[in-house]
Chains A and B, each alone.
Chain A
């Protein structure tokens, strides 16, 4: 079965630090140290050893807006501040073909250094879905034209913080 489990949701928080404290102190989630440098500030939070909440900030950030599929204006509240819901998945080629068959636009995100490949897509109510293929190092350029609306590779530039995303 290509899409295997629910993994996390991403919340674009009005106040990143206060939101982190809420999830830590009220819900008892633990801060994960292994969050890659996405080029925008945020936190990963774990329950029972698994990452289940990804926090980002509403503070304007170009890389965040480029990476996610929409802009996040300051002042968003309620479930509108949930950006996307993420699943774990396997067999990227089969999943891509299935989605493409239904003529649904996809956005590819690749993290070669973390061996992570992602497909972003929208459901019929315009909710963003993220599919995570762990251990996969697909070059999004190789999939150009195969249902791809945008393809971004994030890689570290000479050991410094991620400066910008490279669009294929």
Chain B
């Protein structure tokens, strides 16, 4: 099975601190480590797993955030603040070949300090952004290169 599990979802909010505090207090999540994306993020954990990524949303989103992730919606309320949902998988090369074979556009990102290689694509029926995360060692072994690496942002 190429996709093994749901991994996390990303919320964009106009109030990063209030969102973090709510998930910590009401749902018992824990703030934990995250890579340096060169834009503000908070990662929230259940046990040892980051399940919710929070970044800036609304109208005043940084250029780095837009460059790395784009911005699906400037909505400040409701499910429009969900930017994407992510899955974790194995066999990156097979997935890239499958997407290319089906003519589905995707972008590629690498996060060195997490050892992650990410594909972003759209569910074409609903325009929902989906992230597929793989171990970046798979990309290295197969000679697959991203358009953008998180560490290139300043």
Chain A residues in the interface with B (C-beta under 8 A): 1-9, 11, 13-15, 18-19, 22-23, 25-30, 47-48, 50, 52-53, 70, 77-85, 87, 98-99, 102, 104, 121, 123-129
Contact partner, B84, options A50, A79, A87, A127, Cβ 8 Å: A79
Interface residues on B, range: 35 or more
Contacts of B72 in A (CB 8 A): 78-79
Q: What are 25 A-to-B residue pairs whose CB atoms are below 8 Å?
A: A1-B28, A3-B29, A4-B46, A6-B9, A6-B51, A6-B52, A9-B85, A13-B125, A14-B125, A19-B125, A29-B3, A47-B87, A48-B1, A53-B6, A78-B127, A78-B128, A79-B128, A81-B126, A81-B127, A82-B128, A98-B26, A123-B19, A123-B23, A127-B11, A127-B78
Contact partner, A128, options B79, B85, B132, Cβ 8 Å: B79
In the complex, besides A29-B3, A127-B82, 19 extra interface pairs with C-beta distance below 8 angstroms are A5-B49, A6-B52, A9-B6, A11-B123, A13-B126, A19-B123, A25-B102, A27-B2, A47-B5, A47-B6, A50-B5, A78-B73, A78-B80, A79-B72, A79-B83, A102-B26, A121-B26, A123-B11, A124-B18
Q: How far is the CB of B10 from chain A (nearest CB, A)?
A: 9
Contact partner, B73, options A22, A30, A79, A124, Cβ 8 Å: A79
B154 CB–A CB distance under 8 Å = no
Contact partner, A127, options B79, B104, B125, Cβ 8 Å: B79
Q: How far is the CB of A62 from chain B (nearest CB, A)?
A: 20
A102–B84 Cα distance when bound, in Å, is: 28
Given A28-B1, A52-B87, A129-B27, CB of A5 within 8 Å of CB of B46:
yes
| A22 contacts B123, C-beta separation under 8 Å | yes
Contact partner, A48, options B5, B75, B99, Cβ 8 Å: B5
Contacts of B77 in A (CB 8 A): 125-126
Contacts of B87 in A (CB 8 A): 27, 47, 52
**Mostly helix, strand, loop or mixed at chain A's interface?**
mixed
Contacts of B18 in A (CB 8 A): 124
Contacts of B22 in A (CB 8 A): 102, 123-124
Task: Give a binary string over B122-136; 1 marks a CB under 8 Å from any A CB, 0 the rest.
Answer: 011111111010000
Contact partner, B79, options A5, A79, A124, Cβ 8 Å: A79
| A80 contacts B130, C-beta separation under 8 Å | no
